[in-house]
Chain A
Amino acid sequence: MWRLLRARLRQGHQTTRGLPDRVALPPPFRGRPTLEASRCRDGCRACEQACPTNAITRAPLQIDLGACLFCTLCQEACPEQAIVYGTDHRLAVRARAHLLVSEGEARLAGALDRTMQRVLGHSLKLRQVSAGGCSGCEAELTATGNVVFDLSRFGIQFVASPRHADGLVITGPVTRNMERALRETYAAVPAPKIVVAVGACAIRGGPFAGAAASHDGIPEDIPVDLYVPGCPPHPLTILDGLLRLLGRVEGSAPSS
Chain B
Amino acid sequence: MAELMGQNPGSMGSESARHVVWSKNGVPLERDELSRLPPLSFQRACSELCASGGRLSALCALPARSPGVSEVLAVLADDARSRIGLLCMELPQTRSYPALTTALPQAQAFERELFEEHGIHPLGHPWLKPLRLHADLAPQSEGAGARARPHPFFEVAGPSIHEVAVGPVHAGIIEPGHFRFQCHGEIVRHLEIQLGYQHRGAASLFLQSSPARRLVVAESIAGDTAVGHALAYCKAIEALAGLEVPLYAQAVRGIALELERVANHVGDLGALCNDVGYLPGASWFGRLRGEFLNLLMELCGNRFGRSLLKPGGVRFGFTSEKRKAFLERLASAEDDLKEIAELAFDTPAICSRFEHTGVVTHEVAQALGLVGPCARASACDRDVRRDHPFGIYRFVHIPVALVDSGDVMARALVRWLETQRSITFLREQLTELPEVALSVDSAPLRPERIVVSMVEGWRGEVLHLATTSREGALAGYKIVDPSFHNWFGLAIALRGNQISDFPLCNKSFNLSYAGHDL
Contacts and interface: CB of A to CB of B under 8 A. Distances in A.
Contacts of B284: 11, 147
A177 B283 contact: no
A252 interface: no
Contacts of A206: 220
A185 B306 contact: no
Contacts of B53: none
A178 B168 contact: yes
B146 interface: no
A133 interface: yes
B302 interface: yes
A207 B217 contact: yes
Q: In this complex, which of B134, B197, B315 has the most chain A Cβ atoms within 10 angstroms of its Cβ?
A: B197
B26 interface: no
Contacts of A4: 280, 343
Interface in A156-179: 158, 160-162, 172-173, 175-179
Contact of A71 (B176, B202, B216): B216
Contacts of A185: 169
B159 interface: no
Contacts of B3: none
Q: In this complex, which of A28, A146, A162 has the most chain B Cβ atoms within 10 angstroms of its Cβ?
A: A146
A146 B287 contact: yes
A136 B304 contact: yes
Interface string B252-269: 000000000000000100
Interface stretch (B70-78, B86-94, B205-213, B364-372): B205-213
Given A4-B343, A211-B200, A212-B201, A28 B298 contact: yes
Q: In this complex, which of A140, A211, A231 has the most chain B Cβ atoms within 10 angstroms of its Cβ?
A: A211
A211 B201 contact: yes
Nearest to A230: B302
Contact of A69 (B133, B141, B306): B306
Contact of A214 (B201, B212, B267): B201
Contacts of A27: 301
B223 A136 contact: yes
Contacts, number: 195
Nearest to B224: A135
Contacts of B205: 208, 210-212
Interface in B302-359: 302-304, 306-307, 315-316, 336, 339-340, 343
A181 B221 contact: no
Contact of A179 (B138, B210, B316): B138
Interface in A167-211: 172-173, 175-181, 185, 201, 206-208, 210-211
A53 interface: yes
B517 to A, nearest CB: 8
Interface stretch (A98-106, A109-117, A123-131): A123-131
A201 B175 CA distance: 14
A206 B202 CA distance: 12
A222 interface: no
Interface of B: 132-134, 137-138, 140-142, 168-169, 171-176, 196-202, 204-205, 208, 210, 212-213, 215-217, 219-224, 226, 267, 280, 283-284, 286-287, 289-290, 293, 297-304, 306-307, 315-316, 336, 339-340, 343, 512-514, 517
Given A129-B169, A214-B201, 8 more contacts: A11-B284, A26-B298, A28-B298, A28-B301, A30-B307, A160-B172, A175-B517, A210-B208
24 contacts: A28-B301, A29-B301, A52-B216, A53-B213, A70-B307, A129-B169, A132-B197, A133-B175, A133-B514, A136-B226, A138-B174, A138-B175, A139-B223, A147-B287, A172-B200, A175-B517, A176-B140, A177-B137, A179-B137, A181-B176, A207-B216, A212-B142, A212-B204, A213-B138
Interface of A: 3-4, 7-8, 10-11, 14, 25-30, 50-53, 69-73, 76, 128-143, 146-148, 158, 160-162, 172-173, 175-181, 185, 201, 206-208, 210-214, 231-232, 234
